[in-house]
Amino acid sequence: MGDKAPLAALPPTVRSVVAQDMLNTDPPQHTRLRQLVAHRFTGRSANAMRPVVDEIAERLLDGLDTAAETDLVAQYAQPLPTLVLGAMIGIPEADCPDVRRWSDTFVSELLLISDSLLDATTSLLDYAAELVRRKRREPGHDLISELIEANLTDDELSSMVFVLLIAGQTATTQLIAKALYLLLTNPDQRDAVRADETLLGGAVDEALRLEPPLQVSAFRMTQESLTIGDTCIPAGEVVLCSLTAVNRDKSRFTAPDSFDVRRDDNQHLSFGFGIHRCLGANLAKVEAEAALGALLRRYSSPRITASAGDLPWVEAGIMRKLMALPVRLGAK
């Protein structure tokens, strides 16, 4: 992506591996890499994972203390995607907290080029390489074992595992956290979903539109000068598209600042567009639907215990993150 890209500060050996992932390559390499894993992320494959996702959601809810205040981010929205990803690609549950922490640091500090970003990136790449070595010795029925059978170099394998670890956790955590926040702060919409679970998909899409997990698109670089409106963008510049602005375009959406689980024609761009559209979109939606549905079925009157102004929202690089969601779950 060039020297102006945020990862330019990474050590060359690390940067060379990261640069080979699907997010940072164009066809034909991008096409080849994506085709190796695309079948695991189709709508049919994501729905086939639903029993696993449902079991994880129920298990996490079983561990919550209904008599005390509960943080639905730390105790529910954060662990769920990592455990689902672990089941899919073969991460031992004992490793999940470290993997989640490294991934979260990478996504949150991508624009900062901090020491913690460099440490997290190196740790995650080292872990990915070790996981590949482990699966070579003890293959299973997981995605990494499947990829080992494909014609990939060691760097390509590590890079593929790295991008799966990055893409499959923090963004989905924020999707679940923000969807819960929007439902709990809009009781009429919450009650509508509880009464008709076919609206779960609409609730997830509306959360994606109104509060996208990522505020901007993936990093792209102009190969030649480009004029948009009255602005000329020189060749070799990093370009980001504001997903928040696009998703609230008044010329495209009626009442764009309202949360409406029955919204028709909700063509948001939170998963991107074109050949780089988020590979894990179907699985992320299944996870969010399962998380919302399980909680609403189990608890009749969950309520946020902090005022809206006291909730910890943080601008974290390419994300606007809800760091905690304190609730009283109420009666079952």
Could you read off the pLDDT of 106-123 as tens digits, one per residue? 887 776 667 888 888 889
Instruction: Enter the DSSP assignment of 271.
Output: T
User: And the tokens for 28?
Assistant: 């034909």
pLDDT at site 6: 53
User: And the tokens for 42?
Assistant: 């189709």
326-328 and 303-304 strand pairing: antiparallel
pLDDT at site 11: 64
pLDDT at site 100: 93
pLDDT at site 202: 97
Q: CA-to-CA distance for 77 and 86, rounded, in angstroms?
A: 15
pLDDT at site 161: 87
Mean pLDDT, residues 181-186: 96
* Helices (H), ranges, the chain: 12-18, 29-37, 43-48, 50-62, 72, 79-89, 96-108, 115-137, 143-148, 154-167, 170-184, 187-195, 200-210, 243-247, 281-298
Rounded percentage of the chain residues whose pLDDT exceeds 70: 91
pLDDT above 50 for 312:
yes
pLDDT above 70 for 137:
yes
pLDDT at site 2: 41
pLDDT at site 77: 97
pLDDT above 70 for 7:
no
**Positive or negative: CA dihedral 44, 74, 171, 169:** negative
Q: CA-to-CA distance for 104 and 270, rounded, in angstroms?
A: 19
Q: Among 70, 92, 84, 254, which Cα is nearest to 177's?
A: 70
- Which residue in this structure is represented by tokens 């494959």? 45
Amino acid at 299: Y
277: how many CB neighbours lie within 10 A of its CB? 10
pLDDT at site 46: 95
What is the rounded average pLDDT for all residues in the chain? 89
Mean pLDDT, residues 220-247: 89
**Predicted confidence band at 245 (pLDDT cuts at 50, 70, 90)?**
very high
pLDDT at site 30: 80
Q: CA-to-CA distance for 166 and 170, rounded, in angstroms?
A: 7
pLDDT at site 159: 83
Q: CA-to-CA distance for 159 and 156, rounded, in angstroms?
A: 5
Mean pLDDT, residues 286-311: 94
Q: CA-to-CA distance for 263 and 202, rounded, in angstroms?
A: 7
Mean pLDDT, residues 197-201: 97
Mean pLDDT, residues 132-149: 91
Residues forming beta bridges with residue 304, ordered by sequence position? 327
User: And the tokens for 287?
Assistant: 């996870």
Mean pLDDT, residues 30-58: 92
Buried b / exposed e over 172-188, threshold 16 CB at 10 Å, is: bbbbbbbbbbbbbebee
- Which residue in this structure is represented by tokens 């189709």? 42
Mean pLDDT, residues 132-148: 91
pLDDT above 90 for 301:
no
pLDDT above 50 for 285:
yes
Reported for 267-275, long-range contacts at CB under 8 A and 24+ positions apart, including other chains, are: 268/205, 268/208, 268/209, 268/212, 268/243, 269/217, 269/241, 269/243, 270/208, 270/209, 270/212, 270/213, 270/214, 270/243, 271/208, 272/217, 272/218, 275/27, 275/30, 275/31, 275/34
Mean pLDDT, residues 282-290: 97
